[in-house]
Structure 1
């Protein structure tokens, strides 16, 4: 048995903000993917995945009982497959903010959900929101509260535009200019990040009046502007807004940025050679970078491994 491939994702804009109704833009990232596989002779790694699937199956059984009107699964087949050595074979790094649990959730829903919403039908806003809700419930098994966006992105393999929490749509983004010097890239921080503690930290900060007002008047304002610019292909305006956003994040989200990157982050803003932002919840994993000149950015960041994900 080998299931279909599900891809990783990158939330270009909207980390933390979408919790408070900012816009967001998430794109599939085909460089990493995962699929369900079967093996009766499991290695250490695949055994771990198989055990995790066993607990996940129990969790889904409870979910089916608690909310049968939302989602039900063919639990008999799922449990049988797990006991026959099913695991999730994935190249998606965990704790890197590119949706490793999202791809797994999408794969399980695709194979075992009964009465599932398929990618081929006309995906109305209601259907997208329903899928997002189902995926949010499923993914919260892995890291506390989940928006369901990562699995949705992985399941549909389409860019998703988040207008607000209850208004999402699949969208198209300007096609890449493969000869362009401008680029979106991933910078490997060299350490993994845990989503739950970072989100908890954010919720703590939200108790402060000053932080709440910064989020609304600066962070969300610049995030929304970046999303609009990116979707509409306004590159010049995009970089102006990115610089502001990068600055706001450095000033207000320091604990989410690994400390050895504080100086590098500042350097980008001062030289305009690149702008960095969080990729997912931060704390480690990947950092997202945007540059108008990828050669300059590579030189400035020569000690780091850059992976280009989109060219302007």
Structure 2
């Protein structure tokens, strides 16, 4: 067997804010992908993945069937037959490796599944998000369900609030000088500890106020600017967002990148922000002149995501 491909995702804006009901914008990232496959003799990564699927199967057995039910017998049969998730999506990098796996399993084994081809009303999108949230919680302890949703639909998704999500039309890429890029921290980040740090910070009234008054308002402004192609305004808001994250989310920024982060704000060559929960993996960069950013960051691995 060989299942369909599911792609990585990038949350351009909204990390942490969407936990507190602010806006978010996620886009598929087709450079990385995964699919369910089977082999007769499992070894190495495939064997590890197969063992992980056994644990996932046990978890899905106990999931509330009012939310979603699966053809578990067939799932177990396929796992026993050497099924694994063959993926190029780096794990712990904030680009949705578990989301693509969840989307694959739902696509193959869910009963009465909502398909990509039907008319995706808001209610159906929210139902999918709830299903994916319940499924992906196996990997992260608590999941918004957005990564698998993005991977499953392979569409940009605009999160207006927890109960209001919609497919988004994003401006088509131009062959300009500006770019959104990924900066490889070359270390793995784990979602759960980062989210726990955030939840502890949320107990502090000053942090909550900063989140609402600064972080969320800059995030929302960035999304509006990006969707409407207001590039000049976008970079002003991204700079402000980068400053706020540097000031208040330091534990989520790998310490080796504190100087690099600050350097971007001081020189205006690029601005950095978290990609996913942080703590490692990729860091997202925005620049009006990619050649200049590349020169400034020549010691690091960069990948272009979107051109302005």
TM-score by length of 1: 0.98
Whether 1:243 aligns to 2:239 is yes
In the TM superposition, what is the alpha-carbon distance from 1:43 to its structure 2 partner? 1.3
In the TM superposition, what is the alpha-carbon distance from 1:45 to its structure 2 partner? 1.1
Task: Report 1:1-312 matches (<5 A).
Answer: 1-63=1-63, 67-177=64-174, 179-312=175-308
Aligned with 1:173: secondary structure? coil
In the TM superposition, what is the alpha-carbon distance from 1:229 to its structure 2 partner? 0.5
Gaps of 5+ in 1: none
Between the aligned partners of 2:219 and 2:287, the Cα distance in structure 1 is: 17
Between the aligned partners of 1:166 and 1:248, the Cα distance in structure 2 is: 27
In the TM superposition, what is the alpha-carbon distance from 1:79 to its structure 2 partner? 0.3
In the TM superposition, what is the alpha-carbon distance from 1:138 to its structure 2 partner? 0.1
Aligned with 1:73: secondary structure? coil
Between the aligned partners of 2:55 and 2:20, the Cα distance in structure 1 is: 31
Between the aligned partners of 1:293 and 1:38, the Cα distance in structure 2 is: 45
In the TM superposition, what is the alpha-carbon distance from 1:301 to its structure 2 partner? 0.3
Runs of 4+ aligned structure 1 residues displaced above 6 Å come to: none
Between the aligned partners of 1:303 and 1:153, the Cα distance in structure 2 is: 32
Q: CA RMSD in A?
A: 0.5
Aligned with 1:222: secondary structure? helix
Between the aligned partners of 2:105 and 2:144, the Cα distance in structure 1 is: 17
Aligned with 1:118: secondary structure? coil
Gaps of 5+ in 2: none
Q: CA offsets, 1:198-223, max 9 Å, x none?
A: 00000000000110000000000000
Q: CA offsets, 1:145-178, max 9 Å, x none?
A: 000000000000000000011100011100000x
Aligned with 1:114: secondary structure? coil
In the TM superposition, what is the alpha-carbon distance from 1:97 to its structure 2 partner? 0.2
Aligned with 1:273: secondary structure? coil
